[in-house]
Structure 1
Amino acid sequence: MKKLIFLLPVILFSCNKNNRTVKSDRTDYDKAYNYLKTSEKDSAFKYFNKAKDFFIQEDNPSFAGSCLVNMAILQCENGDYYGSQETALSAIKYLNPQKDTLEIVGNYNNLGITCQNLKEYNKAAQFYNKAAHFSQDPIYQLTLLNNKAISYTYLKKHDSAIQIFNKILAFPTIKKHAKVFSKVYDNLAYTKFSQNPEYNAEPELNEALKIRERIKDDDGLNASFYHLTEYFENKDPKKALHYANKNWQIAKKNNNPDDQLKALQKIITLENSNNTKYFFLRYQSLNDSLQTARSKAKNQFAIIRYDVEKIKAKNAENEIELLKRNIGLGTLSVLLIGGIFLYKKRKKRLEQEKELEVKNTQLKMSKKVHDVVANGIYQVMTKIENQDHFDKEKALDDLEFVYEKSRDISYDKEDSKDEQDFSEKISNSIGSFNNDTVKTYIAGNEKNIWENVNQSKQEEIYQIIRELLVNMKKHSKSNLVSFRFERINNEIAIHYKDNGIGISGAVIYNNGLSNVVSRIEILQGQIIFDTETEKGLKIDISFPVY
């Protein structure tokens, strides 16, 4: 289901406020809007941030709040939902309910969008309701109530959602506003179908589609095609595939990667097995690009705010030094030398700490993307290669798991606890690489070996085993691989062996083996590479349980 992003009214804020500040006072503010109009979002965010600080200093809270609202919307559009919430909530204290209603409406609607994207549907409904309360435009009010009803649909509060949709459709002039009418009409039909799969929603969904085609509402067409795909998915798969392909094409035209991924998932489900690989690869490439872009955007916004704070700190230090100069020439010499020394030392320390923090964040994100997305998708592809008969449903389940994990990475969510038995998880991972040309063997992987091994250590061990398997698959050319596990008192040993080409001469770590070594260091264990064997590779790993 689609929701309206309330950006256009916010872009007009500068026009609405022209009479409330002198033109020369709005240099950074106007620069921000010029960059926004040319889609240079990083620069727009930077100048809104600078303008916000200026307006706070000049005791102009209305403009400061406007800057923060626009910054929050930019963060939301780039997938930085938690950062957007933080910025939007900080804007509330600067906005006046009597003078700044347009900004307040945009801010609460943006908070509703971020909550909905984070699947916090109760909070989303509350924010949409607040936005509707402050809106002075009746059509905007109806659109915001539509967004609130969508949140209820996600919560499966179908009766509440249907009641709101019917209230909107009862508005006297609603049919004159074809875009809003078709949106609500389509959502109402889809909600009735969600509540009762036997409900015949086809006539209403088609009526909404015709209106959207007539008015050339591309965002609306995207929603219609997706709803029709879901409606026919279990009734007429061929017709559902037709609408899924239309959904994909319009999502590409709208340049909306999230909607493209949703459409591709439907196509993979509905398409015959011979054509699935092409769409799977398109999905994989798009998903990788989307996660990388969102991670980069979050880091970029954080760096921009840090740079501005660094300039403010420097200006504050300069003011302190100027004040000290007026105290006296004798005192000035001592304080100036000491002050400069401390300032430079503190500045250098802050810069080093911030650079380290940014690097650590990047490394953490890179490591998570490698573990969850790259190795996860590689394992799914290995499973598909090893299957005599392609199990599309199982592949889709694995793909959905990787997609949800990658979304968690982009939202900075902690990994949920894995309920699967760890010994079974290891056996399944090793077994997935077993095929006609490569035989895998496991010994000693009993449940009691892993007693008292906490979840964080289990995750490192699982990734070590998967790195060894991926490295074997890519480089070793082996056809026999074995893992033997043993536990002596409070120490666990993993013995790996394959009959591949081995490593000649000194051990040269590729990315996979380097990651294995770094993980062993985290476990406070040790790793021994036996390269003296006649053929193949032996690796002995050991680490303490506690």
Structure 2
Amino acid sequence: MRIFLVLLVIILSSCSKTKTITNQQENVFYDKAFEFLEKNNEDSAYIYFDKAKDLFQQNKDLVQEGKCLINMAIISTNKGDYFSGQTISLEAVKYFNEKDKEQYQTICSNYNNLGIATTNLKDYNSAIKFYDLAIKFANNNINRVSYLNNKAHIYTEQKKYKDAIDIYNIILPQTQHKDYKIFARLLSNLAFIKWMNNPRYNAEPELLNALKINKSINDLWGQNASHSHLADYYAKTDEEKSLFHAKEMYKIATGLNSPDDRIESLQKLIQTDPNNYSKYFSQFLSLNDSLQTTRNNAKNQFALIRFDAEKLKTENIQKENQILLQNIGIASLVVLLIGGTISGSIWIKRRKERLQKENELKIKENELKISKKVHDVVANGIYQVMTKIENQEHFDKDKALDELEFVYEKSRDISYEKVDSNDILEFYKKISNLIGSFKNEKVNTFLAGNGANIWMDLSHSVQDEVYQIMRELLVNMKKHSRANLVAFKFERNNNLIQIQYTDNGIGIPGEIIHGNGLTNTVSRIEKIKGSIIFDNTIEKGLKVYISFPIS
């Protein structure tokens, strides 16, 4: 399923491409960034937006500095680095005045980017809030329609089809005879969602009409989405037509150089063309691995750009310290006479700042090493096992499970090494994302009481232990319990946090509770001076009670 998401790129709208004058000086980095964007060279554009941001910062031009951040955030989102896109956009929010109507275009574009990045991180409730803010500050109808379309996409992902249909029924007439490109895409989206809501709905005429309009105006992205919808629509009723549209989608996605759409079309081809299953599956594996490698490299590259910028600032501070020390040495007698304590305090303050910067750089260096290790050890390990399964007719199932278990253990080892900067997401959002990641067609997850106030004043080290405890409970649930309902409840009483875990599975045998499976969980609880009780006596399922003090 492909619902067209609109990322209104701020670089073409609210951030004017005219030369920007700040304190009577041109910011050549800013202009250079746009030159690279016009050539579709986003990597170089990112570098120059970062340089421009520093120059605007020196000249205390907050709005232009914020625009640089938004452009960097949008580029990160485009590259699939959704955490960075979200983080940088959140940082940019504070640079703008939401009472100044002249800044509305920039503000709404930033909230839209936050919505898209957060959507891809599967935090749908937060994404809707960001889209609502984008709609609030939208100062023209085209932008408003685009943001409402994106909001409808969230409702579709949540299977709230009627809410999505209500939105499309409002915005579709607003684009008819005004913007055929957007009208065709919205028409295809609406018809497809009506069919998903009611499989007896005849969406074929509208889907084909949308495709016809897309072809008439040569909108390749629109044709790509239309073929995706038609391939799914015909999947159970006309395999020949479904296969045709899947092939057309693959052809167009290849021409557009869109790896995500190529992967989606290959998935459709694998399902609809069993005669060529092996060929399509091999292409899927190769392309998926290549895409993950590219995105990991992009994440590392952008992290390195910001890392290098911070490193340069640190080196400049060190040079300033050296000059300061030389001056102190030359004028030491004078300093002693007029008050050495003043200079001493300045030196101590600068030394403290330098050490803090160096510590931050070490953390970032370690994160980059870990990111590479995750790709080299985990992704490549899984790919190797999948390749063996595909190519070896009599590959031993137990051996495959052993190899996957080895990769899993390696990933756990890496996770224990990782230094969490705790600045990507607030802890309650990380908890929400963790629990939501285990939700699928067979398992529903629920949580209650998870708010920012619950985790207030909880140290980063305890947060990390709690996160690992909850993940280990969920992993054991998935491996052993056969549950289809899982719930977490969080409460805080004075200085004590209480967590209740419940599932409706077969329970956990004693040998797993006291064996290797949950040994780490128990030791982690002891580490944070808490307690854990496994209630395996209920008629069906398992309850786990956890409590620990806020230290």
Both structures adopt the same fold (TM-score exceeding 0.5): yes
Q: CA deviation at 1:323?
A: 4.8
Aligned to 1:312: 313
Give runs of aligned pairs for residues 16-95 of structure 1, distance below 5 A: 18=19, 21=22, 24-95=25-96
Give how far 1:354 is off: 4.8
Which of residues 390, 403, 426 in structure 2 aligns to 1:381? Answer: 390
Q: How does 1:207-226 map to 2 (within 5 A)?
A: 207-226=209-228
The 5 Å alignment of 1:58-457 reads 58-97=59-98, 98=100, 99-171=102-174, 174-272=176-274, 274-323=275-324, 329-331=330-332, 354-375=364-385, 377-381=386-390, 385-386=393-394, 417-419=475-477, 452-454=515-517
Residues 319-357 of structure 1: CA distance to partner in whole angstroms, max 9, x if unpaired? 444455555624299999x99999999998876665444
In 2, distance between residues paired with 1:419 and 1:174? Answer: 50
1:77–1:344 distance in 2 versus 1, CA, 3 Å: closer
Change (3 A) 1:251 1:328: same
Flag the 1:19–1:309 CA change in 2: closer, same or farther, 3 A.
Answer: closer
Letter in 1 for 2:515: N
Q: Using the TM superposition, give the Cα deviation of residue 69 of structure 1 relative to its aligned residue in structure 2, in angstroms.
A: 0.4
Q: Is the contact made by 2:293 and 2:375 (CA closer than 8 Å) also made in structure 1?
A: no
Q: Deviations over 1:25-77 (max 9, x none)?
A: 41221122222222332222122112212222322111011001000011111
Aligned AA (2:387): Y
- One-letter amino acid of the structure 2 residue matched with residue 358 of structure 1: L
Counterpart of 1:150, as a letter, is H
Cα shift at 1:13: 4.2
1:511 is aligned to: none
Distance, in Å, in 2 between the alignment partners of 1:455 and 1:77 is 39
Alpha-carbon contact 2:512-2:518 (below 8 Å) kept: no
SS of residue paired to 1:176 = coil
In 2: Cα distance, 1:379 partner to 1:68 partner: 44
Separation in structure 2 between the aligned mates of residue 347 and residue 20 of structure 1, nearest angstrom: 31
Report how far residue 380 of structure 1 moved.
Answer: 3.4
Alpha-carbon offset, residue 122 of structure 1: 2.5
CA 1:354/1:198 → structure 2, altered by over 3 Å: closer, same or farther?
closer
1:105-145 Cα offsets, whole Å, 9 max, x none, are 22111111112222222222222222122122212211221
Shift in CA distance, 456/179, structure 1 to aligned 2, threshold 3 Å: farther
Q: Report if aligned partners of 1:422, 1:450 keep a CA contact under 8 Å in 2.
A: no
Can you list the C-alpha shifts for 1:392-446, whole angstroms capped at 9, x where unaligned? xxxxxx9xxx9xx9xxx9x99877615465799xxxxxxxxxxxxxxxxxxxxx9
CA RMSD of aligned residues (A): 3.6
Q: Is the 8 A contact 1:264 1:283 kept in 2?
A: yes
8 Å contact from structure 1 (residues 49, 71) kept in 2: yes
TM-score normalised over the length of structure 1: 0.67
- Residues 184, 353 of structure 1: alpha-carbon distance in 2 compared, 3 angstrom cutoff: closer
- Secondary structure (helix, strand or coil) at the match of 2:372 reads helix
Once the two structures are superposed, residues 375-397 of structure 1 have per-residue CA deviations (whole angstroms, 9 ceiling, x without a partner) of: 2x135315x7239xxxxxxxxxx
Q: Distance in 1 between matches of 2:22 and 2:331?
A: 45
Q: Structure 1: 5+ residue runs without aligned partners?
A: 388-397, 425-445, 459-546
Q: Which amino acid aligns with 1:283?
A: F
User: What amino acid maps onto 2:475 in structure 1?
Assistant: K
Q: CA deviation at 1:315?
A: 2.2
Instruction: Tell me the amino acid that sits aligned with residue 224 of structure 2.
Output: N
**How do 1:469-484 residues align onto structure 2 when only pairs under 5 Å count?**
none
Q: Is the 8 A contact 2:246 2:269 kept in 1?
A: yes
Distance 1:276 1:447 in 2: 43
The structure-2 alpha-carbon separation of the partners of 1:318 and 1:452, relative to structure 1 and needing over 3 Å to count, comes to same
Deviation at 1:374, TM superposition (A): 2.7
Gaps of 5+ in 2: 337-342, 396-403, 416-423, 425-429, 435-470, 483-508, 522-551
2:254 aligned partner, one-letter code: K
SS of aligned partner of 1:39? coil
Q: 1:10 touches 1:102 (CA, 8 Å); kept in 2? A: no
Q: Distance in 2 between matches of 1:342 and 1:131?
A: 41
Whether the 8 Å CA contact 1:108–1:128 is kept in 2: the answer is yes
The amino acid that maps onto 1:132 is: I
Rg larger in 1 or in 2?
1
1:91 Cα offset (Å): 0.4
User: Residues 343 and 182 of structure 1: is their aligned pair in 2 closer, same or farther, counting only changes over 3 Å?
Assistant: closer
Change beyond 3 A, Cα 1:156–1:319: same
- 1:231/1:343 CA distance change after superposition, 3 Å: closer
Identity of aligned residues (%): 36
Determine if contact 1:150/1:161 at 8 Å carries over to the other structure.
Answer: yes
User: Which residue pairs with 2:455 in the alignment?
Assistant: none
- Bigger mean CA deviation after superposition, 65-74 or 97-106: 97-106
Looking at structure 1, the residues matched to 295 and 151 of structure 2 have their Cα atoms a distance apart, in angstroms, of 26
SS at match of 2:16: helix
- Counterpart amino acid of residue 37 in structure 1: E
Say which SS state the counterpart of residue 255 (structure 1) adopts. Answer: coil
**Greater shift after overlay, 111-120 or 206-215?**
111-120
State how far apart, in whole Å, the 2-side matches of 1:177 and 1:113 are: 23
Give the Cα separation in 2 of the matches to 1:249 and 1:89: 37
Deviations 1:497-545 (A, max 9, x none): xxxxxxxxxxxxxxxxxxxxxxxxxxxxxxxxxxxxxxxxxxxxxxxxx
Structure 1 residue 150: Cα displacement: 1.6
- Deviation, 1:302, is 0.8
- Partner in structure 2 of residue 536 of structure 1: none
Report the residue type matching 2:283 in the other structure: R
Q: Specify the alignment match of 1:537 in structure 2.
A: none
Shift in Å, 1:297: 0.6
Match of 1:188, as an amino acid? L
SS at match of 1:95: coil
Q: Residues of 1 paired with 2:245 and 2:299: CA distance? A: 34
- Look up the match of 1:461: none
Q: What SS class does the counterpart of residue 293 from structure 1 fall into?
A: helix
Q: C-alpha displacement at 1:184, in angstroms?
A: 1.2
Structure 2 residue aligned with 1:469:
none
**Pair 349,90 (structure 1): closer, same or farther in 2 beyond 3 Å:** closer
Please give the per-residue CA displacement for 1:190-241, whole angstroms capped at 9, x wherever unaligned: 1100101111100111111110010111111111001111111111112111
Aligned-partner SS, 2:177 = helix
Which residue of the partner structure matches residue 15 of structure 1? 16
TM-score after normalising by structure 2: 0.67
Q: Give the letter for the 1:417 counterpart.
A: V
